[in-house]
Amino acid sequence: MIVFDQVSVTYADTPSPTLKDVSLQIPEGELCLVVGPTGSGKSTLLKCINGLVPHFTGGTLAGQVVVGGRSTRSHHPRDLVDVVGYVGQDPAAGFVSDSVEDEIAYGMESLSIAPATMRKRVEETLDLLGLADARHRPVATLSGGQQQRVAIGSVLTTHPRILVLDEPTSALDPQAAEEVLATMQRLVHDLGLTVVLAEHRLERVVQYADQMLLVPGDGSPVTLGTPAEVMRESPLAPPVVELGRAAGWSPLPLSVRDARRRVAGLREALAGSAAPTHSGDPAHQVLASTAGLVVSYGGAPAVRDVTLQVAAGEIVAVMGRNGSGKSTLFKAFVGLVKPSGGSVTAGGLTPGRSRPSQVISAVGLVPQNPSDILYADSVADECAQADSDADVAPGTAATLLKTLAPGVPLNCHPGDLSEGQRLILALCVVMAAAPPLLLLDEPTRGLDYGAKRRLVRVLERLARTGHGVALATHDVELVAEVATRVVVMADGEVVANGPTADIVVSSPAFAPQVAKILAPDPWLTVTDITAALASQAAS
C-alpha cells in the first residue's frame, strides 16, 4: 500500500538530509506507529505519503514514494485525496469553514459526494468522535482537543484508504485519546484502512500498533518492525517498557495488562520501601489566586465559581477533559479574558486592570499554540528579543534553548521548526524572564521523552528557587513526574484539589501507567521505583 524506495529529503540551508535513504513497505490494513526524537523528521516522512513533500513544503526529494500504486512525484496531494487523508500537528491551520458541521462536510463537498451520503457520514462521524453537541459551534471557540477531533472527522468522512495522522492525541484528554485510538483500531480491523500515525505519547498507542517505525534523526537508518522488536533497542520507550527493563522482565510488556500479569515479584521487592511524596510548601508566598471566579463566553460560563491559589515553590497540574476550562483559567491569570464574576489576582495585581508590562513581570504564560508568541524571522532573533524584553543578560534564552532542545539551529525560521521545537522555543522566550509564576498550557505537545525529562529538571529547579509553576495538561506521565499538587476541573468547576498521589492513584482516567500497574500502592514513576530497588540492593 505504501512503498518508500531510497527516499531522501533535504531542505535548503540544512547541513544534512532530514531523511536519508529510507526504504520500507507498509502493507494494507495495518496500523504503523512512527516514533523518534523531537525534530527527527517524523512529520517530513508523513508528508511524503500524501505528496506535501516535495510539492508544498519545498526541499529536494530523492527516490520515490508510491501510495496505492501512485507515485507522489507525478501526483500532487489533490490527486491523492481519495487515497490518503492527512491531519497535521496544527489542526486549526487546515480549517476552511466556520462551524463544526460545515468543516466535517467540506472534504466531501470537494469530492462532489451526493448530499444524502454526506449527511449520513456527517452524523456517523459526529457520533464517532463525540462532537454531536458541538455541531453548530464555531470551530474557533473549541478547545484544542475538540479542534483536533474535528480535523480527524473532516478527513474520515472522505473514506480514504490510508489515514495519516501527525500526533493525533497530543491535545486530547485521556478519555478522548482512548476514543480516537479505539476508532483508529476499528477502522484498521473492520474496514482494512491503513493508518500511519506519529506520536510521542507511546503509552497511549504502542499496544495498538501492528508495526513501529523508528526515525532516529541522527543519520542512522530507520528501523521498521513489530513494537516488541523495536522496543528492545529503542531509546524512546513508554513507562510500562521502562518498568519492564528496570524489573528485568523478558519479553518486555507493551501494555498495563501485560505488566500486571507479572508484577507480583516486583511488589515483593518493593514491600520494604515507601513510595516518595512530592509536595510543595503551603507556607510559601501565594503568587496568584482566584475567589469565586466566573468567566463566560457569549453568556455561557466556561469557568464557574473557581477558588484557587498557586504558591511559590509548588508545581500545580490542572487536569480535566477537553473544554473543562483549564485554558480559560490560565488566560484569566494574565488578563486575556475578563471575569464575569469573582476576582483574580497575580503578583498583587488585578490582571485585567493592570498594564501588560506589569502583568508580564508577575506571571508568564506559554499558550497552547506556541506560534501565538513567536514573531521574529529566526530562532536567534526570538531569543535575543526575549532577552531584551526581560532585561536579562544576552544569551539567556539561547542557553535555555540549548538545554531543552540541543541542536535547534539558531538561523532557522521558527515556522520551519517541528511543533515540539516551536513549543520549546516559546517556553524559552517566556522563561528567560524567570517570572515568579509560570503558566504552561499543554507544555509537552510534540516533545519526546528525553525533552520532557529535561523540561522536568528545569521546572523543578524553578520551584526550588521560589518560583511557582502551573501546568494545564493531559500528560498524566508528566504530572506523575513533576507535580506537587493536582487540580481537576470539570464543566468549568474544580472537582478535586490535593496532593498528586492522592488524586491520580485512585483515578482511572488520570493515573499514570506505573500507578495502574502497582495500585493500590502509591507508586507513580519508574524513576521512584528504580531508586527504591537500588537503595534496597545497596543496603
Q: Which residues constitute the domain of residue 344?
A: 286-504
The pLDDT score that the predictor gives to residue 447 is 87
The grid cell for 275 is 513510595
What pLDDT does residue 182 have?
83
Please indicate, yes or no, whether residues 303 and 221 belong to a single structural domain of this protein.
no
The Cα–Cα gap between 315 and 462 comes to 9
Sheet holding 2-10, edge to edge: 19-26, 2-10, 60-67, 70-71
More confidently predicted of 420 and 253: 253
Residue 406: the pLDDT is 85
**Burial track 503-533 (b if 16+ CB lie within 10 A, e otherwise):** bbbebeebbbbbbbbbeeebbbbbbbbeebb
Same domain, 55 and 130: yes
Query: Do residues 150 and 33 both lie within one domain?
Result: yes
Q: pLDDT (tens digit, 9 = 90+) per residue, 343-398?
A: 999 988 999 888 887 888 899 999 988 888 899 999 999 999 999 988 889 999 99
On whether residue 61 sits in a domain, the answer given is yes
Residue 510, domain member (yes or no) = no
The three grid cell numbers given for residue 72, joined into one nine-digit string: 507522489
Terminal CA-CA length for the chain: 56
Q: For the stretch 83-92, what's the b/e string if a residue is b when 16 or more beta carbons lie within 10 angstroms of its beta carbon? A: bbbbbbbbbe
- The pLDDT tens digits of the residues spanning 442-460 come to 998 888 898 899 889 989 9
Which of 193, 208, 235 represents a domain boundary (last residue)?
A: 235
Between 516 and 146, the more confident residue is: 516
* Confidence bin at 429 (pLDDT 50/70/90): very high
Q: Is the pLDDT of residue 341 over 70?
A: yes
Backbone angles phi, psi at 66, to 5 degrees: -120, 125
The set of residues, in sequence order, having a beta carbon less than 8 Å from that of 509 and lying 6+ positions away, is 173, 174, 175
User: What is the Cα–Cα distance from 350 to 328, expressed in whole angstroms?
Assistant: 16
| Rounded-to-integer distance, Cα 315 and Cα 437, Å | 10
Are 207 and 349 members of one domain?
no
Shared-domain flag, residues 290 and 224? no
Cα separation, 512 vs 480, in Å, equals 7
Chain mean pLDDT for the chain: 90
Domain presence at residue 277: no
Give the sheet arrangement for strand 300-311, strand by strand.
300-311, 286-297, 341-346
Does 107 fall in a domain? Answer: yes
**Alpha-carbon span 526 to 539, nearest angstrom:** 20
Decide if 259 contacts 287 (C-beta within 8 A).
no
Residue 380 located in a structural domain: yes
How many structural domains comprise the chain?
A: 2
The Cα 466–Cα 469 span in angstroms is 10
Residue 282 scores a pLDDT above 80 = no
Instruction: Please tell me the predicted confidence (pLDDT) of residue 281.
Output: 61
Examine residue 106 and state whether it is found in any structural domain, yes or no: yes
At 394 the pLDDT is 93
- Shared domain check, 44 and 156: yes
More confident residue, 120 or 16: 120
206 and 293 fall within a common domain: no
State the pLDDT confidence band at 264, using cuts at 50, 70 and 90: very high
Rounded average pLDDT over 183-210: 90
Given a cut of 70, is residue 302 above it in pLDDT?
yes
> Domain check: are 16 and 131 in the same one?
yes
Lowest mean pLDDT among 43-52, 73-82, 237-246: 73-82
Euclidean distance between CA atoms 79 and 408, whole angstroms? 34
Q: Looking at residues 189-216, what average pLDDT do you find?
A: 92
Q: Using CB atoms within 10 Å of the CB of residue 383, give its burial: 0 to 12 exposed, 13 to 18 middle, 19+ buried.
A: buried
Q: What is the pLDDT of residue 445?
A: 85
pLDDT at 170 over 90: no
Is 143 part of any domain?
Answer: yes
Q: What is the mean pLDDT of residues 159-173?
A: 88
The yes-or-no verdict on residue 280 having pLDDT over 70 is no
Asked if residue 538 has pLDDT above 80, the reply is: no
Q: Does the pLDDT value for residue 512 go beyond 90? A: yes
> Does residue 215 sit in the same domain as residue 306?
no
Q: Are residues 61 and 164 in the same domain?
A: yes
One domain, residues 161 and 231: yes
Angle among Cα 332, 333, 337 to the nearest 5 degrees reads 20
Counting residues of the chain whose pLDDT is more than 90, the rounded percentage is 58
Residue 471 has pLDDT above 90, yes or no: yes
Sheet strands side by side (includes 363-366): 363-366, 437-441, 468-472, 315-319, 485-490, 493-499
Residue 526: per-residue pLDDT:
94
Both 205 and 292 in a single domain? no
Beta strand 493-499 pairing with 485-490? antiparallel
Residue 88 in any domain: the answer is yes
Element (H, E) at 300: strand 300-311
Rounded distance between C-alpha atoms, residue 374 and residue 53, angstroms: 25
Q: In angstroms, rounded to a whole number, what is the distance separating the alpha carbons of residues 289 and 285?
A: 11
Share of the chain above pLDDT 70, in %: 99
Helix (H, G, I), strand (E, B), or coil: what is residue 228? Answer: helix
Q: What is the CATH number of the domain that holds 469?
A: 3.40.50.300
